[in-house]
């Protein structure tokens, strides 16, 4: 198992990637991954998908509370989770998506998902997404998972920009992104057709120098074990 570091409290951690690596450099980093990288912090582990996670995917994405501000309605059949799991694996095989399972480091039980999607080496950017079981809302785990994924994207893969979008009324998710230093860049009107009604999309963006500055203000850098 390949475990990629944790957040470390030191100011002299060497930077892992140059500021503007070439698209080929990013492609090479992705191609060299033998398996899903495992990312760990004190309270969570981001790991690859296992066969027994399909039931957890269905439980997560069939919950109306989780899907209230998603770009689609809740899953209604287990087969949808099976298809979603296949897309997770296909995305990794094509190196366009890193869709981690957020797990309890003590039990390895699934708590949610965290994703770098639409990974684009030519433009050194990707999108960020995350979802947690409602029982784990409100305790900072979404921000912790996002911190690991963002740091991996910038410092290991060499991305320069990470984007996210939310439904404007999704205060929890918006607060996570605001806290992590994302900037609100604009509103895309009536972008998603959801069973609860058509939704706008609030666009956020974060650049690598901004992330390094954020880590510095928090008193840590991201480095390899």
Distance CA 90, CA 103 (A): 21
User: What per-residue confidence (pLDDT) applies to 71?
Assistant: 85
Mean pLDDT score, 53-58:
98
210 sits in the region (left: phi over 0; alpha: psi -120 to 50; else beta) called alpha
Distance of alpha carbon 85 from alpha carbon 50, whole angstroms: 9
Instruction: pLDDT band for 66, please (50, 70, 90 cuts).
Output: very high
Residue 223 has pLDDT above 70, yes or no: no
Structure tokens at 20: 């503007």
Bridge partners of 162, per DSSP, are 126, 206
Could you confirm whether domain 17-222 is CATH 3.40.630.30? yes
More confident residue, 14 or 198: 198
pLDDT digit string, tens, across residues 126-175: 999 999 999 999 999 999 999 999 999 999 999 999 999 999 999 999 99
pTM reported for the whole predicted model: 0.90
């Amino acid at each position: 198992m390949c475990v990629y570091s944790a957040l470390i409290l030191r100011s002299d951690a060497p930077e892992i990637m140059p500021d503007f690596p070439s698209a080929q450099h990013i492609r090479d980093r992705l191609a060299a991954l033998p398996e899903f990288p495992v990312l760990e912090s004190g309270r969570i582990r981001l790991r690859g998908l296992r066969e027994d996670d399909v039931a957890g995917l269905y439980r997560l994405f069939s919950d109306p509370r989780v899907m209230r501000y998603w770009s689609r309605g809740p899953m209604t059949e287990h087969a949808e989770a099976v298809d979603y799991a296949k897309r997770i694996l296909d995305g990794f095989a094509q190196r366009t998506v890193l869709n981690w399972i957020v797990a309890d480091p003590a039990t390895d039980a699934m708590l949610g998902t965290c994703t770098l999607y639409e990974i684009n080496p030519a433009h050194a950017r990707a999108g960020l997404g995350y979802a947690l079981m409602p029982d784990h809302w409100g305790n900072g785990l979404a921000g912790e998972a996002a911190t690991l994924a963002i740091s991996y994207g910038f410092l290991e893969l060499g991305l320069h920009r990470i984007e996210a979008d939310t439904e404007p009324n999704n205060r929890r998710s918006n607060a996570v992104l605001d806290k992590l230093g994302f900037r609100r860049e604009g509103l895309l009107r009536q972008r998603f057709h959801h069973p609860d009604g058509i939704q706008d999309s609030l666009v956020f963006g974060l650049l690598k120098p901004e992330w390094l500055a954020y880590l510095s203000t928090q008193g840590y850098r991201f480095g390899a074990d």
